[in-house]
Amino acid sequence: MSHTSRIYFDNAATTSLDPQVLEAMMPYLTEKFGNPSSIYSYGRETRLAIETARKSVAKILNAHPAEIFFTSGGTESSNTAINAAVHDLGCRHIITSPIEHHATLHTVENLYHRGEVALSYVKLLPNGHVDLEDLEQLLAGCDDKCLVTLMHANNEIGNILDIHAVGEICKKYGAVFHSDTVQTVGHFPFDLRNTPVHFITAAGHKFHGPKGVGILYVNENVKIKPHIHGGSQERNMRAGTENLYGIVGFAKALELATEQYEADSAYIKGLKLYMMEQVKKQIKGAAFNGDTLGKSLYTVLSISFPKTEKSEMILFNLDINNICASGGSACTSGADQGSHVIRAVNNNPNQITVRFSFSKHNTKEEIDLVIGKLKEII
């Protein structure tokens, strides 16, 4: 394999920018550079571009444009929602899971350590799904107003939450519900009008859009205060000159992802199933993490391999061979603390875990090459 042919199987971390998205962004990087807050036509043109993007995103998610706020990405969106739930909506108790993204976990831990909230972790079932009975018991036993923050799909093992079931449970107990939907917006259809959720998040770079731009959806019945103070941008909610080309790129990427959803999702799911088959056939002792064939992301496959001296260096060896994948073992030596997700669902010190995540640009030929390398390494 030549050094130029890189196999990129880390699409859950970030994706390549679609050429059509770049094309939509270009005019705003060059001649259309007016400040959206200016009153002359130059500014009005860029202001219009932002509002057109907002309407487009809202329409695709079946939300109201006033419910969509543009941010710098998933981390900012989750931080904003969680902090607002505590400081503006009066939540005194947070219920989350041990396998959330750090953007959520570190935010709730910070609030807990500052003495602002009580904190509970919902139990997980053996397949990595959230135990909904335990969630209901936690809510029933909670005297204070609760915030439930549970991700729609896990970025390491791919498990998908029943967001409607959780929303209904939250409704029953008057809890605020925030869902980190970074792995699912742009990968699945949404109907927010008919989804009982207060906050969801997204990041453009997970579906072939630009990095550094995302959204926070805030249900119209929720009233929160500004979190960045200054100018009147984003309807006074987030001051600072807008990331114009990012916003235009985000909307374009979401439009393309939505148009191509049927074909792309079927194709990518085929790749995942093909890789599972080949691993089962050709690599002894390999196991899959999460509910891989059930409620699971079609983009993500987490595989645990038997730990040997050779396999301990698996990511390094894949990297040398121009194969990009990401780690996620329960415990690893050195600075890397290992994955909190894998520890929670499969705490086996005799296994090395690798996450492979796919996009429409991957092929079966690439999978064959990777399987060949894995056989050599293991």
- The burial of 332, by beta-carbon neighbours within 10 Å (0-12 exposed, 13-18 middle, 19 or more buried), is given as middle
Q: Which stretch of DSSP H or E encloses residue 304?
A: strand 300-306
Which amino acid, one-letter code, is at 340? H
Average pLDDT over residues 87-91: 98
Give the CA dihedral 293, 294, 300, 301, nearest 10 degrees.
Answer: -40
Q: Which residues pair with 66 in a beta bridge?
A: none
Copy the structure tokens of residue 63. Answer: 């939300």
Q: Which regions of the chain carry the CATH code 3.90.1150.10?
A: 261-377
> Who has greater pLDDT, 91 or 346?
91
Contact between 243 and 213 (Cβ < 8 Å): yes
Copy the structure tokens of residue 64. Answer: 């109201």
With a cut of 70, say whether residue 332 has pLDDT above it.
no
What backbone torsions phi and psi does residue 77 show, to the nearest 5 degrees? -60, -45
Distances in whole angstroms, Cα of residue 151 to Cα of each of 266, 351, 362: 23, 26, 26
Q: Which stretch of DSSP H or E encloses residue 249?
A: helix 244-259
Report pLDDT digits (tens) over 64-86. Answer: 999 999 999 999 999 999 999 99
Copy the structure tokens of residue 202. Answer: 């997204």
Report pLDDT digits (tens) over 197-240. Answer: 999 999 999 999 999 999 999 999 999 999 899 999 999 999 99
Contact between 177 and 196 (Cβ < 8 Å): yes
Catalytic residue among 91, 142, 170, 331: 331
Copy the structure tokens of residue 373. Answer: 């390398």
Q: What is the pLDDT of residue 145?
A: 98
CATH of domain 261-377: 3.90.1150.10
Total residues found in the chain within this entry: 378
Helix and strand numbers (H, E) in the chain are 11, 13
Instruction: Based on the residue annotation, tell me whether 142 is a catalytic residue of this protein.
Output: no
- Distance (Å, rounded) from C-alpha 373 to C-alpha 316? 12
Contact between 54 and 68 (Cβ < 8 Å): yes
Q: Which regions of the chain carry the CATH code 3.40.640.10?
A: 19-259
pTM: 0.96
What would be the CATH architecture of the domain defined by 19-259?
A: 3-Layer(aba) Sandwich (3.40)
Q: Given strand 351-357, what is the order of strands in its sheet?
A: 287-288, 300-306, 351-357, 326-327
Q: Work out the mean pLDDT of the chain and round it to a whole number.
A: 95
